[in-house]
Amino acid sequence: MKHDISANRKAGRKPEWLKVQLNTNNNYKYIKGLVREGRLNTVCEEARCPNIHECWGEHRTATFMILGDICTRRCRFCSVKTGVPRPVDKNEPERLAASVAAMELRHVVITMVNRDDLADGGAAILAETVEAVHGRAPECSVEVLASDLMADRDSIARVADARPEVMSHNIETVKRLTPRIRSRSTYERSLEFLRIANEIDPDGTTKSSMMLGLGEGEDEILETMEDLRAVGVSVLNLGQYLQPARTNVAVERYYEPKEFARLREEALRRGFSHCEAGPLVRSSYHAGEQYEHYRRRVHPLYAEAED
């Protein structure tokens, strides 16, 4: 059966389990103030993440987006602005690292817009940001959520050489839907990025995420899991796609929490070391706790050293 996701409006109103509790407490205001003071961009705001109040208000964490707020691609699921990016800000790595240190974060996620206008796709600035955070906040683990960097080995190696604790790139959706959902991106290139990252650093942690509710079938979800495992991905996130604006592709259906729980079990059965799955799960959802869980499970010596 052919899916016409652009015309489908059958998902209807959001179910109860997608309602979130707003929390604008002092932690939320403090982090928002530091973000403004540092002239930083966060994917929490740009992607209109439903967990922003939980992460900023309760966990005191944020996901920073570097290399500006204008993307060179126009993916149909994303609300980040598209156009001609501004020149690279060479001071951004140190400015971001100073904010991370001020927040006293234990784990930080650094993502980026696509910068196809740059020869290395922005790899050098991403790597410099990881190094700056490690220098300013040595106790803070760093997770990078990179663009596909055109699957260029030298660009991926530059980021890997900065030694982020987690190397992440999102497959986003199943193979069949990729051409219609993602702009100038391919399913195969995303897998190649993850394969190269694992080849360069076989002892590292690689992670990917998928959105559900775009018209995929369960067999396609399971096939994507197997493809990710085949290139060495060890951590997987599964979350519900939510339409950020009317101009974005519509939701085909909402998955129930019990369906996410079952898919999580399927992921673990296929060999993923950790899988976060749920309606509100996003790429960086509970990233710090997720990394600690993974580290203790895969590297029990860390846990012994901390006891």
- Residue 304 pLDDT: 45
| Residue 57 resides in a domain | yes
| Residue 7 resides in a domain | no
- Residue 15 pLDDT: 72
Which residues, 6 or more positions from 247, have their beta carbon under 8 angstroms from its beta carbon?
Answer: none
| Residue 71 resides in a domain | yes
| Residue 9 resides in a domain | no
The answer for 61, left when phi > 0, alpha when psi is -120 to 50, beta otherwise, is: beta
| Residue 46 resides in a domain | yes
CB 160 within 8 A of CB 203: no
CATH of the domain at 247: 3.20.20.70
Residue 246's CB is within 10 A of a number of other CB atoms, namely 6
Candidates 195, 130, 186, 189; CA nearest to 158 is 130
pLDDT digits (tens, 9 = 90+) for 18-29: 665 545 545 555
| Residue 117 resides in a domain | yes
CB 196 within 8 A of CB 154: no
Range of the domain at 64: 18-306
Domain count, the chain: 1
| Residue 250 resides in a domain | yes
pLDDT digits (tens, 9 = 90+) for 187-208: 999 999 999 999 999 999 999 9
Question: What distance in Å separates the CA atoms of residue 181 and residue 165, rounded to the nearest whole number?
Answer: 29
CB 147 within 8 A of CB 156: no
pLDDT of 307 above 60? no
What global pTM score does this model have? 0.82
pLDDT digits (tens, 9 = 90+) for 55-86: 544 545 668 899 998 999 999 998 889 999 99
| Residue 2 resides in a domain | no
pLDDT digits (tens, 9 = 90+) for 101-139: 988 888 889 999 999 999 999 999 999 999 999 999 999
